[in-house]
């Protein structure tokens, strides 16, 4: 009798495991409706032979990331509207916001992940739907928040491939240089023109794609990780292309780097990297002319809230502002203008809602020694500066 019960229990467990395994592989897609409108919030100067910096502040939600075609459709619609307004040409440098690639961890998941209202619930669905990948990623996870590390590490190879396919394709389709916001990957590097995820710590990095879809240079890493993500994202200072020993072939720490574009020599400062004068000095020493600053400012209505600063970075103590002294809006505009030695730059913010995590901010540009701010709008925005 005991043998019979044990056999029956074993069969039930095997059936349950098989059913669970089958359930994890099911990925039905829900209905999708999205607003593809975008407003021109800033258009400074006149068309000329030097090209333009074109910032796109998209309005994005988790459902936009359910499959790659949805996200491509939305971003392509924004670019098409910019083209119809005469803002796209072979010398255009398009800048997208920070973490636009990081949310690719949500691609290809179950409908429930996109329907819940809390990010914590979405992450639970991610873990339940990918038990083996999540378990293996936890073994390799580093940092103080190993769970957050594992969520990104478990899908890193897929995210890197999606990121390159999406933004390389858009750059080629519209014939523009495209600064593809940023993406968090483990020790990313480019080899033979292909973006790879390595096996080191996580970095917040950006890639620039040329008008033919090819990659320009290596991933540019954020130098000063923001306070909200420092528990699992590492600073980019002193790291080489593969994140191995922190030094390049000449034995020196790798600085911020500059790439050549049809509009001029371009550097990328991710997020709060735009606050620090030393970063601009590194780029100016490499004859940079243009600065792209992709930004993600979390929190609904945070643009007008007291400035949070970055108390975990020693360099922040040397900034001319103190936490809470001014609003986020005032801090971003004052710090980027004060640190910039006269280079043309554009700061582009993510907009939208990711579960309970809102995104706020309004892009602006520094040009010819002054600052240009677009009109305040609630939806997706275009920001254009003719060079």
Q: Give the pLDDT confidence of 90-135 residue by residue, as tens digits.
A: 999 999 999 999 999 999 998 999 999 999 999 999 999 899 899 9
The answer to whether the beta carbons of residues 100 and 351 sit under 8 Å apart is: no
| The pLDDT value given to residue 8 | 54
Q: What is the pTM of this model?
A: 0.89
Domains in the chain: boundaries: 36-107+155-386
Closest CA to 188 of 213, 164, 214: 164
CA distances (Å), 232 to each of 35, 221, 361, in order? 33, 14, 24
pLDDT at position 22 over 90: no
From CA 377, how far away is CA 324, in angstroms rounded? 25
| The pLDDT value given to residue 4 | 56
Closest CA to 306 of 317, 319, 297: 297
Q: Give the pLDDT confidence of 319-349 residue by residue, as tens digits.
A: 989 888 999 999 999 999 999 999 999 999 9
Q: Edge to edge, what strands does the sheet with 258-261 contain?
A: 258-261, 264-268, 290-295, 344-349, 364-367, 370-373
The answer to whether the beta carbons of residues 230 and 312 sit under 8 Å apart is: yes
User: Residue 373 forms beta bridges with which residues?
Assistant: 364
The stretch 217-228 carries a mean pLDDT of 90
Burial of 34 (0-12, 13-18, 19+ CB in 10 A): middle
pLDDT at position 19 over 60: no
Q: What is the mean pLDDT of the chain?
A: 88
Q: Give the pLDDT confidence of 186-205 residue by residue, as tens digits.
A: 999 999 999 999 989 999 99
User: Which CATH number is 36-107+155-386 given?
Assistant: 3.60.110.10
The answer to whether the beta carbons of residues 343 and 290 sit under 8 Å apart is: yes
From CA 294, how far away is CA 353, in angstroms rounded? 17
């Amino acid at each position: 009798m005991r043998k019979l019960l044990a056999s029956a229990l074993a069969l039930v467990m095997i059936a349950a495991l098989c059913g669970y395994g089958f359930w994890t592989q099911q990925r039905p897609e829900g209905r999708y409706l999205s607003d593809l409108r975008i407003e021109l919030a800033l258009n400074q100067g006149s068309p000329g032979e030097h090209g333009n910096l074109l910032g796109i502040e998209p309005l994005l939600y988790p459902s936009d990331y359910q499959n790659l075609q949805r996200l491509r459709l939305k971003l392509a619609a924004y670019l098409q509207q910019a083209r119809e307004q005469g803002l796209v040409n072979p010398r255009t440098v398009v800048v997208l916001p920070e973490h636009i690639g990081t949310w690719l961890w949500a691609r290809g998941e179950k409908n429930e992940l996109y329907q819940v209202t809390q990010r914590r619930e979405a992450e639970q669905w991610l873990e339940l739907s990918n038990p083996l990948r999540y378990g293996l990623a936890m073994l390799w996870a580093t940092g103080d928040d190993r769970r957050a590390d594992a969520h990104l590490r478990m899908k890193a190879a897929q995210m890197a491939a999606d990121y390159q396919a999406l933004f390389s394709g858009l750059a080629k389709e519209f014939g523009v240089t495209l600064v593809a916001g940023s993406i968090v990957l483990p020790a990313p590097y480019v080899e033979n023109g292909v973006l790879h995820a390595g096996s080191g710590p996580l970095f917040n990095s950006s890639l620039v794609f040329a008008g033919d879809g090819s990659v320009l240079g290596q991933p540019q890493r954020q130098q000063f990780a923001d306070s909200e993500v420092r528990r699992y994202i590492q600073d980019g200072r002193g790291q080489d292309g593969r994140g191995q020993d922190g030094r390049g072939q000449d034995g020196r720490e790798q600085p911020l780097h500059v790439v050549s574009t049809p509009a001029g020599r371009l550097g990328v400062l991710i997020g709060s990297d735009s606050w620090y004068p030393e970063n601009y000095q590194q780029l100016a020493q490499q004859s940079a002319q243009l600065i792209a600053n992709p930004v993600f400012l979390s929190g609904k209505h945070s643009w007008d809230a007291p400035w949070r600063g970055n108390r975990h970075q020693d360099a922040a103590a040397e900034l001319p502002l103190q936490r809470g002294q001014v609003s986020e809006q005032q801090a971003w505009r004052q710090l980027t203008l004060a640190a910039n030695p006269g280079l043309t730059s554009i700061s582009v913010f993510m907009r939208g809602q990711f579960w309970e995590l809102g995104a706020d901010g309004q892009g602006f540009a520094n040009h010819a020694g002054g600052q240009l701010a677009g009109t305040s709008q609630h939806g997706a925005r275009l920001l254009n500066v003719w060079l």
